[in-house]
Amino acid sequence: MNRIQRYQNVLRNSFAILFSIFLSTAQAATNMENQKMENSYLSMLSREQSVLLITEHQVGLYTGVRDITVAELKHNIVALAKGARALGVPVILTATMTDGMWGQVIPELTAALPDVPIIVRTKINAWDDLRVVEAVKKTNRRQLLVAGISLETCATYPAISAKAAGYDARVILDASGTFNEAKRTSGLARLAGAGVPVMDYATAIIEMLRDNADPKANEVYGALDMPFATLVWQVTSGAAKK
């Protein structure tokens, strides 16, 4: 083998080694990114990737809620819906047996979402209704926020079903409600076991806001309707005018 051939072999081998290292590094980075996407506890909510699913916030079911006051639950779900809309996050509204014992969706919520149609179903798990699944798919978003009554069924079932389908699902705890402590405890345990995080409504919205310098920040904090946030914005606005 002459000198030129030896040199060519060295170059080929060097290139093969470098290419192999490049592929390994790229694969490792891809695996790490996939792992982050699969683990909802590691991924931050994004307004561009999120969609809100509200299930069974109906008049009849509110009469049985015991883990949170009715007034607080109504406040939180309306604030969540308004905050989502302020950020451009799509909202899907679904209910069961609205002409039966569960009653209509609470008027406070329909007033906050006048242009959002209600998907009325018979299936207990909202994710078992193809219209709900198609509505989520149509948004082309992968982060699903769920708020429902009751927590351990109407919020938990679609959340873990969506998780199994590859979505980054979260349950909004203080915009969901249930009928006793045992149901609340069992629902939270099942969500934890399925790797579905729970969040409060304000944290979820603020996580999607990301930056208090965002032009929508004032509108978002107003939608959240938290007393301390309202006070802060009043003070800030007053100071800015001086």
- Please give the positions annotated as active site: 154
Would you tell me how many other CB atoms lie within 10 Å of the CB of residue 30? 10
Cα separation of 212 and 131, whole Å? Answer: 36
Sequence letter at residue 194: A
Distances (CA, A) of 135 to 51, 117, 177: 10, 11, 24
User: Which conformational region is residue 166 in: left (phi greater than 0), alpha (psi within -120 to 50 degrees), or beta?
Assistant: left
DSSP class of 173: G
Q: Can you tell me which residue has the tokens 């069992």?
A: 186
Residue 58 pairs in a beta bridge with 105
Hey, is 177 helix, strand or coil? strand
Helices (H), the chain: 3-38, 59-62, 70-86, 107-112, 130-139, 156-164, 181-194, 201-209, 217-224, 227-241
Question: Is residue 210 within 8 Å of residue 49, measured between CB atoms?
Answer: no
